[in-house]
Amino acid sequence: MTDVPLAAAHAVDRYLVEMLVGSDAALDAAVAHQRAGGLPDIEVAPTSGKLLWLLARICGARRVLEIGTLGGYSTIWLARGIPDGGRVVTIEAEPRHAEVARTSIDRAGVGERVDIRVGRGADVLPTLVDEEPFDLVFIDADKESNTLYLDWAARLGRAGTLVVVDNVVRAGRVADDADDSTQVAGVRAGLRMLRDDPRFTATALQTLDAKGWDGIALALVV
Ligand code: DHB
Ligand code: MG
């Protein structure tokens, strides 16, 4: 197999973004606000943001759970993918990130649809048990907790809920036996759970985009 020329892959990503995703002021402002606030530069790529929007539309999602708000970039995409009266509940452990996200989400005009819960997923998720089930769950937080988040995704979802897990490839480290980082261990444990836990059926795709080489898992709660 020939090596993938990285510069060409990045050029393709720019081409696809220009061709099919485009840009708009609210999303550009969210990224700029996040950068200005010194938040990590790890929001999803534009192609993945639009994928989240499409998945919400395809599922007919009204209730979305996001674990890991960061600056609200993916939250805005998800909120745009649900109808009026729908809700994105998004959990963020870092109060400063939640503040930055709140501003960007409100500026994007979807503030009424977005409920930011500040706290660790492990503490916030159990408070959601009495709410209506979520139709789509996006897991994009500390990778060490992926199995905990998947367990809650199944508990807070229903048969037919779509679960998306970000960062399952980590520049190939997921399949590198020499990698013994806690993050990669968390990613692998999540993938094993998607294989072994009868509540899920799943696949995963590699991505090579503005954020480098990574991937997403897609799972159905059965
Ligand atoms: C990291 C986390 C993410 O969610 C991501 O999309 C990229 C990188 C990280 O913790 O390094
Ligand atoms: Mg991520």
Q: What is the pLDDT of residue 4?
A: 80
Q: Residue of the nearest CA to atom 10 in ligand 1? A: 142
pLDDT, residue 120, reads 98
Q: Whose CA is nearest to atom 1 of ligand 1?
A: 42
- Cα distances (Å, whole numbers) of residue 66 to 75, 117, 222: 7, 10, 20
- pLDDT of 2 reads 76
Sheet of 87-92, strands arranged across: 114-118, 87-92, 63-67, 136-139, 162-166, 212-221, 200-209
Q: What is the pLDDT of residue 147?
A: 99
Q: Which CATH architecture has domain 6-221?
A: 3-Layer(aba) Sandwich (3.40)
- Longest Cα–Cα distance of the chain, Å, equals 52
pTM beyond 0.95: yes
Residue 95's Cβ-count burial label (10 Å; 0-12, 13-18, 19+) is: exposed
Residue 29 Cβ inside 6 Å of ligand 1? The answer reads no
Q: Are 75 and 100 in contact, with CB atoms under 8 Å apart?
A: no
CA–centroid distance, residue 184 to ligand 1 (Å):
11
Sequential pLDDT tens for the chain (222 residues): 678 888 999 999 999 999 999 999 999 999 999 999 999 999 999 999 999 999 999 999 999 999 999 999 999 999 999 999 999 999 999 999 999 999 999 999 999 999 999 999 999 999 999 999 999 999 999 999 999 999 999 999 999 999 999 999 999 999 999 999 999 999 999 999 999 999 999 999 999 999 999 999 999 999
What is the Å distance from ligand 2's center to 139 Cα?
8
The pLDDT value given to residue 115: 98
Residues less than 5 Å from ion ligand 2, measured at CB: 140, 166-167
Indicate which atom in ligand 1 lies nearest the CA of residue 70.
Answer: 4
68 CA: nearest ligand 1 atom? 4
Nearest ligand (C-alpha, residue 210): 1
Residue 167 Cα, ligand 2 centroid: separation in angstroms?
A: 5
| C-alpha 5 – ligand 2 centre gap (Å) | 24
pLDDT, position 3: 86
